[in-house]
Amino acid sequence: MAGGSVQTVPTTPFEGQRPGTSGLRKKTRVFMRPGYLENFVQSVFNAVRADSGEDFHSATLVVGGDGRFYNREAIQTIIRMAAANGFRSLLVGRGGILSTPAVSAIIRRRRAFGGLVLSASHNPGGIEEDFGIKYNTRNGGPAPESVTERIYAETQTISEYRTLEHASVDLEREGSTRVGGCEVVRIDPLEDYTAVMEGLFDFDSLRALFRGGFRMLFDAMSAVTGPYARHILEEKLGAPAGTVINGVPLPDFGGHHPDPNLVHASELVARMSGPGAPDFGAACDGDGDRNLILGRDFFVSPGDSLAVIAEHAATSIPGYREGLAGVARSMPTSTAVDRVAKKLGVRCYETPTGWKFFGNLLDAGLATVCGEESFGTGSNHVREKDGLWAVLSWLSILAATRKSVAEVVRDHWREFGRSYYQRHDYEALDAAAAADMVGTLRESLSVLAGTPLGESRVERADDFSYTDPVDGSTTVRQGIRIFLEDGSRVVLRLSGTGTSGATLRIYLEQFREDGGRGDLEEILAPLTRSVRDLLKLRKRFGTDEPTVIT
């Protein structure tokens, strides 16, 4: 017999299973509690079954994760539950491995019903660290809020889940196994994603770049993009062995924080410094959707990276030779791409934070390239941000221009001006005091015009709200925007009211048409001081120094 009989297991709800922008994330030990994962997975199945109005007997579900601790065990649970809930087939990455953009690519290429992604993204992994799960819909993107709220509603009333008895499936070998009435197919995790990349980029041109002596360093941060980067960069494109470092996915990411920024990718940053450094450096995060771009002694900010890719896409990347339909960025992201869009004669959409807000724009053909300030960039080839896609985009630009990373960015600054940009995070603030501060500022928005701020004056200010141009849905109170007369901008967002306090994020953007020659800290200093004074940070919280500067 291919599997045991379906079991209906009584259960009771767990508190706090509301999925956020990136699904449900908790400490690993929370997910390991008996019934915790099962409750959430059954709630997903219940919600999407009701939403689709059909059963799962003709449906295919994609399942995979970033390889963090508890990934394999969770997949075995999902296999048994999916079989018990009537899915026709499951596509599971060999070894349980699938990057987040790869899940999206597989759903779209194979016309799957949806997918479950097991990841806590750039958060640390391990039994004492973080785990996560999210549901992606048939377009390959994260479930929209309407779906996640139905999932949450199910978690609050769930009384039973379905599973069946079956031995663990061998995830290490490709092939097919029957579990109950469900066909579980272990697939090559690299095949679909690589095919999508080959359809977008000129691999012959990139091979020629490496044959010419171009040197690159890619830090996979002991996370999921290691196998993808080795396959594409070293095996397909001919980059020398050793181009990919930290390339084996580890359950605890080698004890490191798999967040591709200047702090956590310090090994890569150090090796990209000095006259003998490689020409190009890059890194991706835990699940492969974020990216860091470096030149020799040169950091490319996420906002500049998005703008440069948009500027060069049609001339450097075959997949976009017909041009861009539009571009999109999250509201806090710098306005660098706005200026590129204006030159290209296409619209730039400003959305709330969260990749799901790009989905409707991409599906409707209104935007082609999109990005956010938290090191996420992507396009309409999938419905997730895609770190390795951004890396291949930059390689294509360097191959086409025959210029260094620094030269490409400085050329961009000379033509479009530069947004000198930083994010200042103030963590663990007294929640009541932080809420009062933002509330006071919100009440004064209508009278801020004309107020001196930095080296300019306030032109206007508002509390950002967004109406989706496709479905008409409205999202309000997404952050305070203060626009200055010289084209600069300040954004403030407050989040968290738990036991650890609130986090205030201040985004500072000083626009200059100076060819980008200024010093970042010096340029932003007047605006930084003015904003701290405006908010009375020292008086309210005893300090005006941020916890983290990005």
Q: How far apart are CA 296 and CA 301, in angstroms?
A: 14
DSSP 139: T
| pLDDT tens by residue, 100-156 | 999 999 999 999 999 999 999 999 999 999 999 999 999 999 998 889 999 999 999
Under the banding of pLDDT at 50, 70 and 90, the label for residue 3 is low
Span 62-78, average pLDDT: 98
Span 347-372, average pLDDT: 95
End-to-end CA distance of the chain: 56
Distances in Å between the Cα of 55 and the Cα atoms of 86, 126, 467 are 7, 36, 33
Predicted pLDDT of residue 498: 42
Q: How many CB atoms lie within 10 A of CB 5?
A: 9
Are β-strands 60-65 and 89-97 bridged in parallel, bridged antiparallel, or unpaired? parallel
Going by C-alpha positions, the residue among 425, 450, 440, 442 that lies closest to residue 508 is 425
| pLDDT tens by residue, 505-540 | 999 999 999 999 999 999 999 999 999 999 999 999
Judge contact between 377 and 336, C-beta under 8 A: no
Predicted pLDDT of residue 363: 95
Q: Give the CATH fold of the 418-549 domain.
A: TATA-Binding Protein (3.30.310)
Distances in Å between the Cα of 500 and the Cα atoms of 21, 428, 497 are 20, 5, 8
Average predicted confidence (pLDDT) for the chain: 95
CATH of 193-416, one of 3.40.50.300, 3.40.120.10, 1.20.272.10, 3.90.550.10: 3.40.120.10
Q: How far apart are CA 266 and CA 184, in angstroms?
A: 40
Q: Tell me, what amino acid is at 119?
A: S
Question: Hey, what CATH class is 6-187 in?
Answer: alpha beta
Q: Tell me, what amino acid is at 59?
A: A
Judge contact between 143 and 137, C-beta under 8 A: yes
Q: How far apart are CA 352 and CA 361, in angstroms?
A: 13
Q: How far apart are CA 45 and CA 150, in angstroms?
A: 11
Please name the helix (run of DSSP H) or strand (run of DSSP E) that holds residue 84, with its range, or none. helix 71-84
Predicted pLDDT of residue 1: 36
Judge contact between 314 and 324, C-beta under 8 A: yes
Distances in Å between the Cα of 33 and the Cα atoms of 10, 38, 148, 507, 514 are 15, 10, 22, 39, 57
Q: How far apart are CA 233 and CA 449, in angstroms?
A: 51
| pLDDT tens by residue, 266-303 | 999 999 999 999 999 999 999 999 999 999 999 999 99
In the chain, ranges of CATH 3.40.120.10 domains = 6-187, 193-416
In the chain, ranges of CATH 3.30.310.50 domains = 418-549
- How buried is residue 105: exposed, middle or buried, by Cβ count under 10 Å (0-12/13-18/19+)? buried
* Residue positions annotated with a catalytic role: 121
| pLDDT tens by residue, 159-209 | 999 999 999 999 999 999 999 999 999 999 999 999 999 999 999 999 999
Tokens at 298, concatenated = 């040169």
